[in-house]
Amino acid sequence: MMKQSGIRTKIALSGIALTVAGSYSQALLGMTVGAYAVANHSSCGAGNIPGTIAELNKFFASPDLPADFQKNFYWTDQQVKQTDWTKDGDYQSSTSTGTGFDGSDASLLTYIASHGVTSGGVYKALSGSRNNGGCYIPTSSLELGNNVSRYTILSTCQGLKIGTGDNPAASGENPTRTWKNAAKGLNCILGYSNNMADADQYGEYLLKNIKEPGNTLAKAFMDASEAVSENNIPAVLCFGSTEQDAASYIAGNSSFDTQSRPNDASSWVYRMVKQNAGEKSPSSSIPAALKLRPVAVRANKIAELFLGKAVNVSSADKLTTYSSDSGAATYNKTTGVLSITNNLVADALDQDVPSSAEAEEIARHALKVSGLGKIAGKLSLSATAEDVLGGLQGIKKVTARKFIFKQDLAGSFGLSQQGSVEVTIGAAGTVTSIKSALVSIDSSFRSARRPTEFAARMDDIESAVIEQVAAKAPGFNYRVIKQRIGYDAGNFHKANQIAPAVIEMTVEASQGEFARNFIEKVTL
């Protein structure tokens, strides 16, 4: 059993130890996971981020954790050592781990949740303690992937910073250059371009998405990020013999491969959600809360429309799965979430994605022919998202455009995914995925109305929100960078039966070069 005490035992690798290590192949060990979470950064002079440990706790406790995922180790706060990430210390014999080996290169998947920043082509994470080798884990000291590791999740800010971070299309950082020498042997890195939102659901949402038929690892990761906050800019960097080979791997890889891929070249994909410029705040008054219920859709007919009539149908509890050679669909009768994925998109990678206007027209047509638009009632285009492929020379091409349509909910809309339909258009105009969670309103909640004219009170509300963030994560400098009014209706993973009207504020908490965004919701 792995020891979870504060004491860790590592043994320098001798010739005998190396021989023993060689007898353990990943095929025998299965899907091993090594995890690090740092919440307390006081000894390194940075603000604390308590959500990191909760994030990894939820990951390992999730009922969706696959049976073949084996916890090699899970180190937190003072147990996290900078030396675990150095070239000489990332793979060491240990009596405190599940496999007998410790370090960032000792598990197939390495998952770290902490502070992070990229500047001048160097990424560094905070280990949290000066007493364990030092505070900083820089890419200049890393050599991940030359032993056991094949995938790394960087649940930190700016782990895969592109351009300026918030604007990946601008000139600036390039993850291919940042990770060129530090990731030899890795197949993929999953991270963020910008300062990610502080939350503890990332890991559990990722596991749920991995289970969805037809999902790639990249899509599962980016969907999980977006379910937490549309402000996140998730990115995935993968390696291959050429940039096109790496791009194809991103588009098709759906499992954690044990074999190391060529590292001659790399490509990356990022997703950025842009709010519709025409989106306006609600009218002067909206109901204070709504009671919502999922709206049933004809999932079998919609699945046949997009996957063909030769579909296989299976059911387990409230979940029905439809599959064919073209792709797969799932429908959850309890939550009303319908998810369709077209697997044929990889065959058209060399073709272009239509322009935004053409892609939007295709998306609206898909809403019409599927009947989802009619079932939803009034739908408005709320936001668009783009996946952009890049390599050493920078951005190459848009690989997909996603259109997020929101239901009208008593004069406003849901701030997350419940009460919406998402349609993604890929190469050659292919409808690559549709995801919907349509709702209806219990009319008994429509009579309570509250004004939304808060201009006179906004300074007080912002001050209260900043106090809330400061109580959770003291020691930062704070500023409100975004605010929206709407209903806290939930997302595709967790729906709310009662959806209160809220002001959602994004607060940037920064200290020196490190920062993280916090999402706070104030009930109207």
List, for residues 160-213, the tens digit of each pLDDT value. Answer: 999 999 999 999 999 999 999 999 899 999 999 999 999 999 999 999 999 988
List, for residues 252-270, the tens digit of each pLDDT value. Answer: 899 999 999 999 999 999 9
- Cβ(281)–Cβ(382) below 8 Å: no
The C-alpha angle with vertex 9 and arms to 8 and 12, in degrees rounded to 5, equals 135
Average pLDDT over residues 269-285: 78
Query: How many angstroms separate the CA atoms of 439 and 232, rounded?
Result: 25
Q: What is the DSSP letter of 173?
A: B
Q: What is the DSSP letter of 121?
A: T
Whether the per-residue pLDDT at 447 is higher than 70: the answer is: no
Query: How many angstroms separate the CA atoms of 147 and 167, rounded?
Result: 35
Task: Please list the alpha-helical segments (H only) found in 236-348.
Answer: 243-252, 299-307
Task: Name the token pair of 433.
Answer: 């995925």
pLDDT at 130: 83
Residue-wise burial string across 425-459, b where 16 or more C-beta atoms lie within 10 A, e elsewhere: bbbeebbbbbbbbbbbbeeebeeeeeebeeeeeee
236 backbone dihedrals φ, ψ, rounded to 5°? -130, 130
Say if domain 26-271 classifies as CATH 3.40.50: yes
Task: Name the token pair of 319.
Answer: 């979940």
| DSSP-derived pairing of the beta strands 197-198 and 514-523 | parallel
Query: How many angstroms separate the CA atoms of 96 and 102, rounded?
Result: 8
What pTM was computed for the model? 0.93
Residues 6+ apart with CB under 8 A from 347: none
Whether the per-residue pLDDT at 135 is higher than 50: the answer is: yes
Q: What is the mean pLDDT of the chain?
A: 88
State the span(s) of the chain assigned CATH 3.40.50: 26-271
CATH superfamily of 285-445: YycH protein, domain 2 (3.30.310.160)
Percent of residues, the chain, with pLDDT higher than 70: 89
Say if domain 449-523 classifies as CATH 3.10.450: yes
List, for residues 365-423, the tens digit of each pLDDT value. Answer: 999 999 999 999 999 999 999 999 998 777 778 999 999 999 999 888 999 999 999 99
330 backbone dihedrals φ, ψ, rounded to 5°? -130, 145
pLDDT at 216: 93
Window from 60-74, 125-139, 405-419, 489-503 with minimum mean pLDDT: 125-139
List, for residues 94-121, the tens digit of each pLDDT value. Answer: 999 999 999 999 999 999 999 999 999 9
Nearest to 390 by CA among 294, 265, 495, 487: 265
State the span(s) of the chain assigned CATH 3.10.450: 449-523
DSSP reduced 3-state for 378: coil
409 backbone dihedrals φ, ψ, rounded to 5°? -120, 90
| DSSP-derived pairing of the beta strands 327-332 and 319-324 | antiparallel
Task: Name the token pair of 404.
Answer: 């997020």
State the span(s) of the chain assigned CATH 3.30.310.160: 285-445
More confident: 283 or 46: 46
Distances (CA, A) of 445 to 285, 449, 451: 14, 9, 15
pLDDT at 6: 57
For 407, other C-beta atoms within 10 Å of its C-beta total 26
